[in-house]
Amino acid sequence: MHETNKLFKLKIERPRNLKNDILSGLTVALALIPEAVAFSFVAHVDPVIGLHAAFMMGLITAIFGGRPGMISGATGAVAVIFAPLVIQQTAAAGTEGALGYLFAAVILMGILQMVFGFLKLGKFIRLVPHPVMLGFVNGLAIIIFKAQFAQFYVGHGEERHLLEHGPLLIMFGMIAITMLISVFLPKITKAVPATLAAIVSVTLISVFLDRQGIFHSRTVLDFVTDMDPEKTTIAASLPNFGIPHVPFTLETFRLILPYSMLAAAVGLIESLMTLTLVDEITETRGRGNKECIGQGLANLTNGFFGGMGGCAMIGQSMINIRGGGRGRTSGISAALFLLAALLFAAPLVEKIPLAALVGVMFMVVVGTFEWSSFRIIRKIPKMDAFIIILVSAVTVLEDLATAVLVGIVVSALAFAWEHGKKIHAHIRTDEHGTKVYHLESALFFGSAQSFKDLFDPRNDPEEVVIDFENARVYDHSAIEAINNITERYAEQGKRLHLLNLSPECKVLLDKAESIIELSVIEDLDWHIADDKLA
């Protein structure tokens, strides 16, 4: 699906090996930290909860998931869903009580996702049409781009404001350096991931400028303290096991179920869509059902070890793929590096300038957006072009899951409309004077009216046969259409018979026995047919 851009080489060909996986994992770990912190504040929880979630999601899905090379962590989509629950329960039961309900909801979310995987429902991701996929990645690229704007602001709450001109220009310069290194270093050497080299280089420049008293770049620690002035470090301990402190009652279950179901659905849609995208970029194939189980197990573990839950992350997955991460080791190393940073290297990670991470994410935007969609938009069917734009817009304005569902529904309706207009039949009269309609195509809600328009009860002979050898009856609308035609022939004193029904069609007719009366014949040589449903 991805094509090489004229200005940037978006797909970096790197062999799958342990070194690339580990170095790419280190790059991903550095990029995970500010996002996990930001999403923690979206969910109204302590940043440590988001960082623990990123570690557990990344580690468990890397080991048990169905898509090597794909990165999971704490995500904004899941955080937004659980935020109202946390706010509501904080007001009712305090912070500790709210966290108990959050962790219980994350556990239930994980169970639902595992059930989805065990039932092998992940295969339904194949129902997502290509225009929906194009709209999905374009909208996602725009969301990632917009999310970086927060890094250009300083302060907390109402005092938050845009950087002044000087610091803003220097930050843009550092972003540009990061992007230039990411683009041109692979043309010189592929010994280390260009993204990692860019982060290290810009960090060294930032530290030098700061020590010389020339300029202080906004760092990861600055971002954390802006979000919560009481936080002075990202250092954290290992997550601890614990049973959520909530009443184990039916009322609790009813309270958390809606949040868990929505989060499970959104998490799986994002994860499976990301899996499909990584499949196409790497020209390999992941296992959707196994990924559902891996995501569920990761969220189940999150709930018992104090994490806020999450799903696959498109941005970090693209960083990993661009860095050469292809195997499970890349995801495992990213999670372990993240944990090591929290436990042992927090002072070093806190010095990473936000400009370096923004530059990395801008490269992800360039690599994720389907630039070819501009070229093909006038060459594809108008409905496909409309779906691409629609899904992109809904992704930006609402959320990814809603956009995908809207795209699938619109695509299905468009398909039904187009195929409903094309139903036709070959018509002949046999030696007995029976008129035979050899029906073609599918009979369903979209083609029901076209089906009824095929027949001429007033001028047809006494016996009429519809041959379904090249057609199928699919739904109740089709049954009603057949019933309508039967009544029209009955009003003319004529009889309608059905021939060559498939087993599925017969099952539908059997179920419709109380509302429809038809004659079904197995052999056209029977001039007078027996009534099956009379």
Phi-psi region of 170 (alpha: psi -120 to 50; beta: other; left: phi over 0): alpha
CATH architecture of residue range(s) 424-521:
2-Layer Sandwich (3.30)
pLDDT tens for the chain, 534 residues long, are 444 444 334 444 555 678 889 999 998 998 888 778 778 877 888 888 999 999 999 999 999 999 999 999 998 778 878 888 998 888 887 878 889 999 999 999 999 999 999 998 877 766 778 888 788 778 878 877 887 887 888 876 677 788 888 888 989 999 999 999 988 988 888 777 777 888 889 999 999 988 888 888 888 888 778 767 777 887 888 899 989 989 989 999 999 998 999 889 888 888 988 898 888 888 888 888 999 999 999 999 999 999 999 999 888 898 898 888 888 999 999 999 999 988 998 888 888 888 888 888 788 788 778 788 888 888 888 888 899 899 889 888 887 778 888 888 898 888 777 766 667 788 888 888 889 888 887 787 777 888 888 888 888 998 888 888 878 777 778 878 888 888 888 888 888 887 777 666 666 666 554 444 455 555 444 332 333 333
Element (H, E) at 33: helix 18-42
Are 467 and 439 in contact, with CB atoms under 8 Å apart?
Answer: yes
- How long is the chain? 534
Domain ranges of the chain: 18-145+163-230+255-400, 424-521
What pTM was estimated for this model as a whole?
A: 0.67
Q: Where are the beta strands (DSSP E) in 320-434?
A: 424-429
What is the rounded distance in angstroms from the CA atom of residue 14 to the CA atom of residue 19? Answer: 11
**SS3 assignment, position 426:** strand
The CA-CA-CA angle for residues 221, 225, 231, to 5°, reads 95
Amino acid at 443: L
